[in-house]
Amino acid sequence: MPTMPEVFCRPLASTSPRLSAPQTHGWLWLLLPCVALWPVWEWSTARLTDGSDDPLGIVAMLTLLALVARDRHLLASTPRPLWLGASLTLCILAGPYATMIPPLLRAAAGVCGLLMAVLALRQRRQALLAWFGLGILALPLMSSLQFFAGYPLRIVTAEISMHLLHLLGITAAREGTTLDLGGRLVMVDAPCSGIQMAWSAYFTACTTAAWLRLPDRVFLRRLPLLGALVLAGNVLRNTVLVIKESGMLPLPAWTHEGIGLLVFAGVCVLMLRLMARPFAPALHATADLAATRKLHATGLAPLANIATLSGGFALAAILPFLMPHTSSAGTPTASTTTQWPESFNGRLLRPLPLSEVEKRFAAQFPGAIARFSDGISTITLRDVTRATRKLHPAADCYKGLGYRVSTPTLSVRPGAQRAHSLQRCFIASKNGRDLLVCEYIEDQAGRSYTDTSAWYWAAVAGQSGGPWRAVTTARLQ
């Protein structure tokens, strides 16, 4: 007796269509937020390549891409709609139309949105905190961290270093972020804040945890030790360097960088060992990893939901093109009404025109900007009406123009009317030319600040009254 064809022996339910998203490679879903976030990538690229910020974030981004490539076979074919919806929300918040949010915070929202899309494709309870840590580290953070956190960290470092010096029998007093060793001033400058050491240490920790799939609960338990290690390493480095720079420990000049690199490497090695310590895996971890592979054959999201979310990502990508373009050209600035001095340190000033870049920056600056020449130096005056991130350190501006900045020092200002009226100076080198650049910020009471981060916190705390004048002088060596 002939048998019925196999197709007629299958259950009828198997012939009905499934209302699920078409099966495809999981990583293709990540293209949706990647395209929607193009304004974030454009802004980040400009910040990472203009010279004003250390391009360390590129290393973190490449590490994230390597992790996604390693785990691509564990990504589901269709995403979970809830997490993909969260990704879309963050991508919208990251758009340039969200003008109430600072660009760096928008970029952070965008990176988190991209990682939410990864979360939508990964099995539940898989480690993700280290991935989010790498995402934040991929942003152009360094100059902003130095501006906001650099001064408080330098205060802590200088204070602890002062007590360590006392234990060693060395007389030292702290004045702001400067240590006074018997009349010799040693500056705890931006590199001594520990920001770069902290970035490298946390990058090492997040990379190790993500690569070893360290559970989030274990990562969180070990995280406080990271901060303690970074602070201890930074204080140790600063204390040794202060002793060297004071002349008490005669060492060659190259040992300044050598000591820093040695402590830096030691902190990163300790961080690696801390994160690579064995841990007891959860019972469900192996089962979850195996279950992830089964997601390739499972429809997780109805086709209508996926189509709607995909359309949302497409709309987020084109919204920046639909925004009305507002140009700042012709915007009046305070520089047209500000009363600038006619002389500086006893020499007559001759006004100089602002460059096109300076004009565009001045249009958004909370105050006024002007340039002058006294025949020897170029003097840039910036009047500021409120505490702002837009008052950039001169070193950042020169780095952005392609100069190499070196030899930071403190010196007494020429013609200063108050004791301890200092200025911060450095050498800016480019095309065989060396410029001596000095800067300070002065408030209404005549108090001066050699560091923009110190000025910012004093202004925010009400310890310094505005308006303020930032003075930058540059002359050929």
270-306 pLDDT tens trace: 888 888 887 665 544 444 444 444 444 344 445 556 6
Q: What is the mean pLDDT of the chain?
A: 77
Structural domain contains residue 138: no
Residue 439: predicted pLDDT: 92
Same domain for 187 and 256, yes or no, is yes
Cα 144 from Cα 161, distance rounded (Å): 25
Structural domain contains residue 408: yes
Residue 6: predicted pLDDT: 39
Structural domain contains residue 327: no
Residue 301: predicted pLDDT: 46
Evaluated on CA atoms 260, 262, 268, 273, the torsion sign reads negative
Same domain for 247 and 371, yes or no, is no
Cα torsion 360, 361, 364, 368 to 10°: value is -110
pLDDT tens for 335-374 read 446 788 888 888 899 999 887 767 777 777 888 889 999 8
CA proximity to 197, closest of 221, 226, 175, 162:
226
Q: Which residue range(s) make up the domain with 58?
A: 22-125+282-322
Same domain for 301 and 239, yes or no, is no
Same domain for 164 and 110, yes or no, is no
Distances (CA, A) of 6 to 82, 285, 343: 39, 40, 99
pLDDT tens for 457-472 read 888 888 888 889 999 9
Cis preceding-peptide flag for 467 (omega within 30 of 0): yes
Whether the model pTM is above 0.75: no
- Residue 312, classed as helix, strand or coil, is helix
Residue 309, amino acid: L
Please count the other Cβ atoms lying within 10 Å of the Cβ belonging to residue 270: 18
**Total domain count for the chain?**
3
Cα 249 from Cα 259, distance rounded (Å): 13
Cα 6 from Cα 22, distance rounded (Å): 26
Longest dimension (CA), the chain: 117
